[in-house]
Structure 1
Amino acid sequence: MFSLQNKIAVVTGAGSGIGRAIAVLLAKQGAEVHVLEISQEQAGGTVSEILQNYNKAVAHVCDVSNQQAVLDTFKAIGPINILVNNAGIAHIGKADTTPEDDFDRVMRVNVKGVYNCLFAAIPQLRLADGGVIINMASIAALVGIPDRFAYSTAKGAVKAMTMSVAKDYIAENIRCNSISPARVHTPFVDGFLQKNYPDNIDEMFQKLSKTQPIGRMAEPEEVASLALYLCSDEAGFITGVDYPIDGGFTTLNN
């Protein structure tokens, strides 16, 4: 089950965290994985991990907010079967504390970046007679999260884009779904705690973990497992759906 043999996948933001876990798992299941990352070092790290154990992987240095760079990258890759739109940045702030430059930067990466990859990838999916798109949204698109105004706005747009694409391309054998994680234990979380709470990292880690009713953060590999299912032929009847993976956050926090 869940074989991706002879599939070509593109994963954006695959240099670390969720994106890296998805890229590695797709490769494990047989896909040829193209890693898009703004950092050559991080892209190379993921590709090296894949090549140690699995099939072909290629690193591409690409800023997803630059449409021409995205178009050039996808043209170089050619026909694909899978796109995972994972690249994104975080932001902390309320509506009246978010500077315009910060708001624009989050929209440029988290919204325009997804659009750019959709714009470039859909013609390549057509050349492969269809395929699968996974967009990484967030529970911030579904419920109110304190101090996440710009981020929530962007992820709400990602969820809406997912539904639009699913509707527009269903007749072309292109499925599109989104995944909405709660907190996931990634290098970003560790860096955030180190920067903001250097004197009580363990205490704050436990506090953030317990905001999920299940009592912990997700691991990147758990999100990757859901992505793998949605990319596989076993999920061939699923499109236009957002999947919260949140340890009960959106339904059990009363």
Structure 2
Amino acid sequence: MTLSDHNLITFTVAYDGEPLPQDQVNGIVRFNWRKADWDRLRGNLVVPNWPMDRVVDVDQAAEDLTAAIRTAAMGAVPLARTGKTPKTPLNPELQRLRRECRRARRHYQRSIGDHLREATLVRYRRAKAVFKRTLHKVRTESWQSFVRDSLAADPWSTPYKIAASKVRSPTVLSTLRKIDGSHTRDWQESAELLMSTLLPDDSSEDENEEQGNLRRQLHEVYAEETPVAPFTEREVTDAILELRRKKATGHDGLAAEVLQGDGP
């Protein structure tokens, strides 16, 4: 997981469990702060009273405060829908033909006897052919309508670019050239070459003087004896007030307007 100035970027390598609800991203609840009921949120918010000089574990206190704000937000702020955009449904005629095709396929799969199976197979193939022809016709008409509307609005839009071969698929390299001039032979060898080139092993034998100095600095023990004063409540307040509004939330899912306490 990484944080940028505008978005929370997460990388999921593998997940074998149940799919997450649409109002969660990698287990993080997402709120739609634009539709928040700020008066109700202030009424629901009950924050534990912690004197700053008595807080022992700052991290635990921050987690408790975040949990209290989330609990209050659950009743005052609607959840954001983060699922994929649904596909355009088929028209009623295509839906009817698809149902008939699936029904004919089930009858064929469940039929017993050579003669019955042959008859149901013919009906299934006929229903499938009708559905495919109708689907192709609807797609062609939809594409023609898109081309007419696009060219009427802009003669140099996507249809023109496709006809002029200006829209091309990105080139996918099947092999990579090694240092010795030879090429990789399969995807595994290409992946190993990429890993060794982009993420080489951490070795001190081939590093230059600057890299050696950085390595020594990383291994040196921090010997600064000057005591660091704990941050004050005023410093925390100033840091919250400096947060920019109407920006993407962080990994806690809380907007700056909530922490600043006065809504939009």
- TM-score band, normalised by the shorter chain? under 0.3
Larger Rg: 2
- Calculate the TM-score normalised by the size of structure 1: 0.19
